Structure 1
Amino acid sequence: MTPLTFPAPVENARTEALRAEVRGFLAEALASRAPLERAESWNGFDRGFSRAMGQRGWLGMTWPRRYGGQERTAFERYVVIEETLAAGAPVAAHWIADRQSGPTLLRYGTEAQKQAILPRIAAGECTFCIGMSEPDAGSDLAAVRTRADRQGDGSWRVNGTKLWTTYAHEADYMILFCRTSGTPADRHEGTSQLLVDMKHTPGLTVFPVHDLMGQHHFNEVHFEDARLPADALLGTEGSGWTQVMGELAYERSGPERFLSSIQLLIELIGALQGSENEAARSAIGRLFSHLVTLRHMSRGVASLLEKGENPSVHAAIVKDLGATFEQDLPDIARSLVDARPDLASTNDFCAVLAYTIMASPAFSLRGGTREILRGIIARQLGLR
């Protein structure tokens, strides 16, 4: 069995000053944001807020300055993410671009692609969506069917469908994972990534998919003889699988995997304030212990990133345990407080509880299902 460790990052005066600065900004910027709105942090789409983050140098923080970055550490970036999520900030307009699309471009993009897009992401001016999931593939990403064929002039003709594409209707770009040779039977072989302009690509249509609450975050993106320019290729043709695995490591690596339901824990503690119920106190203690442990592990992922190591397995563990924590939380809250979940309620606990109950089924799906992640973990530990 291969042992895994989660090294602790080194706190210093610089990171603590940054944390205080971010908290001060958020206290003012989010002063009028209601608890229910804070619970929607991941899905809160606000380009103005994202631009404000960019103006303060809090997007693309680790990137080279020539691409709009600040050349700060991975842990400094972690501090900013942790504070914004804990405060329930509306991060959706910059989230995907800053977390994974930008780093993927930085690693695999051409100089022209980097110069054209990365500074806009760092400024909070450019939104990305993820072109991975498909209707017939489920969590089996290697079963991708969307296909891009080279044309005589070097351009690409794309046909296929992507599903559950968050904010595709708002995004400026997508990184498309597709097949450029062979068939789905070839699995990892013959796949590539292409950069898609979501605003100016003929043959591309976005259809809304509404969730349980009737909200429009998800989409189906249909490519019908869509034409992409020759320079749309990201990285190396045929190396899509390796590239997309690196992108997924970025997607699974942050504190969002256990902080996206933090508002419910805040409201639960408030609802129990003054209670002498020993069972309630014990349950809150266990939840807090789990949260502290997840935070330690997640900070360890940031430390590994800082060292230039690949934290994909560590990130998968945090993502799996974080999803379990977040999906257990609504049931624990309901067992401790006798209140009816209701999105329209003026009681903050009831409204946030209702939102989290309806959002939580997706927690074990986004970023890879529990079964897929546990397979990755088992292989690393030598168990399969």
Structure 2
Amino acid sequence: MSAATLLSRICPPRATETAELYELRLAVREYLRRCVRDGVFTPGADVWLTGWDPEFSRDLAKRGYIGMTIPTDYGGHGRTHLERFVVTEELLAAGAPVAAHWIADRQIAPSLLTFGTEHQKRTFLPKIAAAQTFFAIGMSEPDSGSDLASVRTKATPVEGGWRVSGTKVWTSGAHLADAFFALARTAPLDTSDRHAGLSQFIVDLRSPDVQIRPIRSMTGRHHFNEVFLDDVFVPDDMVLGTIGEGWQQVNSELGFERSGPERFMSTYALFAEMVDETSQDPTLFSRRDLGRLAARFNALHHLSFSVANALEHGEEADTAAAIVKVLGTSHEGAVAELADLDAGDHRTSTGRFETLLTESLTQRPGFTLRGGASEILRLVIARGIGAR
């Protein structure tokens, strides 16, 4: 079976961008051009993880670019996943600082809409859409890697709620966020079904029983954290979904986390700068290399857009989302490596390229780890193929 035939069996049909979506794309692009021109932000690499700017997020919210898929009854805009895709892709292409609202808008809101109670929806969704409440994710744990079934954080029932104790790691933005979804074990580990007995809780990160310690990168920058939960009380009305069904809920959530344009566009601003520089000096970068990268960006765009279309129609897209993640994060790392290699001893004429390259190379090691290591996702893809 050819690769093309195999992909056609496990990936959603190709979706086409309509004239209305293209109009929206141009409007967002023009807005972002003005922002760069007026110094609202300086384009960066990996901005959806490192570019924390609440004021910019609030301006986006005022323009209706956050909470797009949240129904109007909950303070959102009732728009489609495809419209949101167009907006987020343009934000990433521009290198805009979107980390503050990214996780809440990308996966917290859809999870609340699917599994949340009416109280939880009314409490959080309007604030997410207004960029007034920010979230992190509490899945990964020390010594667990991408094996979420090995979660050791425990939640014990008490009067009126639960006591949650454990440690979460690689929690991006937890030191600035208001809350996170914590995956915890609510029943003893069953070796015959390691994914059973897991549940999700909405934990207030400002609680006195929560300690957050920074994990600094080699440059001294801080966006990752280790979060210690010391018998944190979580009331019953902050249990997300159904006790014992946390694994199924997390898998639903990961479809949104793994398939978006941030999985292949973290270094797009660097690529755009390479193209601009080469238009001024054709000796800087190989046009063949740039063309190869452009082709991969285009292919990943269409695959990711088709996954967004599947999610819009409530269709299963877990395997395709994993494919986007594996291929996309490998590609965005390749952009940084090729930029570094091709530039060689004659660096480009502007400091902007150097800054983007440094940011991209610094963040490069995490691309294929966050959201699930590539080795784990290849197993997800293999199982998906086997199921077909």
Settle same-fold status: TM greater than 0.5. Answer: yes
Aligned to 1:193: 200
Aligned to 1:257: 263
Give 1:276 deviation, angstroms: 5.0
Equivalent residues in 2 for 1:164-313, closer than 5 Å: 164-183=170-189, 185=191, 187-199=194-206, 201-276=207-282, 280-313=286-319
Give 1:309 deviation, angstroms: 0.5
Give 1:13 deviation, angstroms: 3.2
Q: 1:120 to 1:34 in 2, by over 3 A?
A: closer
Give 1:236 deviation, angstroms: 0.2
Matched AA of 2:352: D
Give the secondary-structure state (helix, strand or coil) at the position aligned to 2:264: helix
Aligned to 2:85: 78
Q: Point out where structure 1 has 5 or more consecutive residues left out of the alignment.
A: none
How many residue pairs match? The answer is 380
Which deviates the most, 112-121 or 329-338?
329-338
Give 1:308 deviation, angstroms: 1.4
Q: Structure 1: how far apart are the matches of 2:258 and 2:353?
A: 28
Q: Structure 2: how far apart are the matches of 1:314 and 1:75?
A: 16
Equivalent residues in 2 for 1:22-33, closer than 5 Å: 22-33=28-39
Matched AA of 2:373: T
Match among 314, 321, 325 for residue 320 of structure 2: 314
Which deviates the most, 232-241 or 278-287?
278-287
Q: 1:33 to 1:143 in 2, by over 3 A?
A: farther
Matched AA of 2:65: W
Aligned to 1:38: 44
Cα offsets for 1:291-320 (capped at 9, x unmatched): 111111111111111221021111110110
Determine if contact 2:163/2:232 at 8 Å carries over to the other structure: yes
Aligned to 2:68: 61
Cα offsets for 1:78-100 (capped at 9, x unmatched): 11111111111110110000000
Cα offsets for 1:164-194 (capped at 9, x unmatched): 1011011111011110111374520100000
Aligned to 1:51: 58
Cα offsets for 1:226-258 (capped at 9, x unmatched): 111121210000000000111111101211111
Matched AA of 2:175: H
Query: Normalising to structure 1: TM-score of the pair?
Result: 0.93
Aligned to 1:163: 169
Q: Structure 2: how far apart are the matches of 1:270 and 1:17?
A: 24
Determine if contact 1:9/1:75 at 8 Å carries over to the other structure: no
Give 1:373 deviation, angstroms: 0.6
Matched AA of 2:286: A
Matched AA of 1:48: E
Query: Normalising to structure 2: TM-score of the pair?
Result: 0.92
Structure 1 residue 349 corresponds to structure 2 residue 353: yes
Q: CA RMSD in A?
A: 2.3
Match among 376, 383, 387 for residue 379 of structure 1: 383
Question: Which consecutive aligned stretches of 4+ in structure 1 deviate over 3 angstroms post-superposition?
Answer: 32-37, 274-279, 339-342
Q: Point out where structure 2 has 5 or more consecutive residues left out of the alignment.
A: none
Q: 1:297 to 1:203 in 2, by over 3 A?
A: same
Equivalent residues in 2 for 1:356-371, closer than 5 Å: 356-371=360-375
Match among 103, 116, 132 for residue 125 of structure 1: 132
Aligned to 1:134: 141
Determine if contact 2:326/2:374 at 8 Å carries over to the other structure: yes
Q: 1:56 to 1:177 in 2, by over 3 A?
A: same
Q: Structure 2: how far apart are the matches of 1:143 and 1:184?
A: 11
Determine if contact 1:167/1:219 at 8 Å carries over to the other structure: yes
Give 1:41 deviation, angstroms: 1.6
Q: Give aligned-pair identity as a percent.
A: 46
Give the secondary-structure state (helix, strand or coil) at the position aligned to 2:37: coil
Give the secondary-structure state (helix, strand or coil) at the position aligned to 1:381: helix
Give 1:377 deviation, angstroms: 0.5
Determine if contact 1:93/1:127 at 8 Å carries over to the other structure: yes
Give the secondary-structure state (helix, strand or coil) at the position aligned to 1:252: helix
Q: Structure 1: how far apart are the matches of 2:367 and 2:11?
A: 25
Give 1:33 deviation, angstroms: 4.9
Give 1:37 deviation, angstroms: 4.5
Matched AA of 2:239: L
Matched AA of 2:369: L
Q: 1:217 to 1:278 in 2, by over 3 A?
A: closer
